[in-house]
């Protein structure tokens, strides 16, 4: 009788084990759900930042439907995820410029995802950083929210792929580096050069309205 009222040590241990097991399963489930929602939120934030940045480069007054005017790109050359698209800015049925995504793997703390707007005349329409992990107070000045450094690309024209001026000042070029942080701006300048190389090599295709119609149903 007494045995039924007072659980044995073995019974107590198995009860605790079941409790701990349940707790572990529940904790794992909570962590998994949190991770999924966090990843979704980060993706949504990146998409929102990208759409805002697109219209900072080519405002809605130039092309209100910019987001729909997608073009397929060679992912390898731009170091981007396969399937990432570019955009054509259309004004009066003419392609007045394109926005190309490009990723630099030469950042201080990891990849830097950029979009580079290039006008039909090869001048830079604007550049924006979409995501990065550079150090706050040092490399993060590439972010438009932190400084206006990225605006220094606007209107710039590279004089061919060997233009020594398309570099940070420390490397003999025209773009400022940051105090004590040259790696990040150097990576961004180089990535804009990659986008310009791509643009020059595929200019006819990128500036053709047919490219958009063929590759993306509106």
Ligand X SMILES: Cc1cc2nc3c(=O)[nH]c(=O)nc-3n(C[C@H](O)[C@H](O)[C@H](O)COP(=O)(O)O)c2cc1C
* Binding-site ranges for ligand X (CB under 6 A): 108-109, 134-135, 138-139, 177, 180-184
CA dist 5 and 163 (Å) reads 88
Find the shortest distance in angstroms from Cβ 33 to ligand X: 32
CA dist 58 and 62 (Å) reads 6
Find the shortest distance in angstroms from Cβ 77 to ligand X: 25
Which C-beta is closer to ligand X: that of 88 or that of 184?
184
Query: Quick count: other Cβ atoms within 10 Å of Cβ 211?
Result: 20
Find the shortest distance in angstroms from Cβ 103 to ligand X: 16
Which C-beta is closer to ligand X: that of 176 or that of 197?
176
Which residue of this chain has its Cβ atom nearest to ligand X in the complex? 139
Find the shortest distance in angstroms from Cβ 120 to ligand X: 33
Nearest Cα to Cα of residue 100 among 119, 30, 109: 119
Which C-beta is closer to ligand X: that of 41 or that of 170?
170
DSSP 8-state class, residue 100: E
User: Any alpha helices (H) in 71-182, and if so which ranges?
Assistant: 75-78
Which C-beta is closer to ligand X: that of 171 or that of 200?
171
Nearest Cα to Cα of residue 120 among 193, 78, 58, 165: 58
Find the shortest distance in angstroms from Cβ 189 to ligand X: 12
Which C-beta is closer to ligand X: that of 50 or that of 134?
134
Nearest Cα to Cα of residue 118 among 136, 143, 97: 97
CA dist 57 and 116 (Å) reads 8
With the CA atoms of 209, 214, 215 and 217 taken in that order, what torsion angle do they form, in degrees rounded to the nearest 10?
Answer: 100
């Amino acid at each position: 009788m007494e045995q039924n009222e007072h659980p044995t040590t073995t019974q107590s241990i198995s009860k605790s084990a079941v409790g701990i097991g349940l707790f572990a399963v529940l904790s794992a489930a909570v962590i998994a759900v949190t991770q999924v929602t966090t990843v979704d939120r980060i993706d949504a934030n990146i998409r929102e930042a990208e759409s805002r940045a697109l219209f900072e480069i080519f405002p809605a007054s130039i092309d209100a439907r910019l987001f729909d005017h997608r073009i397929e790109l060679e992912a390898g050359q731009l170091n981007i995820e396969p399937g990432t698209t570019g955009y054509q800015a259309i004004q009066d049925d003419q392609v007045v410029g394109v926005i190309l995504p490009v990723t630099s793997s030469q950042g201080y703390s990891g990849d830097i995802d950029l979009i580079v707007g290039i006008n039909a005349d090869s001048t830079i329409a604007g550049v924006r950083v979409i995501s990065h992990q550079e150090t706050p107070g040092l490399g993060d000045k590439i972010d438009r929210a932190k400084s206006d450094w990225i605006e220094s690309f606007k209107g710039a024209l590279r004089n061919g792929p060997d233009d020594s001026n398309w570099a940070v000042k420390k490397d003999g070029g025209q773009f400022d580096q940051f105090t004590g942080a040259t790696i990040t701006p150097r990576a961004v300048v180089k990535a804009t050069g990659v986008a310009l190389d791509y643009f020059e090599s595929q200019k006819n295709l990128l500036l053709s309205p047919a490219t958009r119609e063929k590759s993306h149903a509106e």
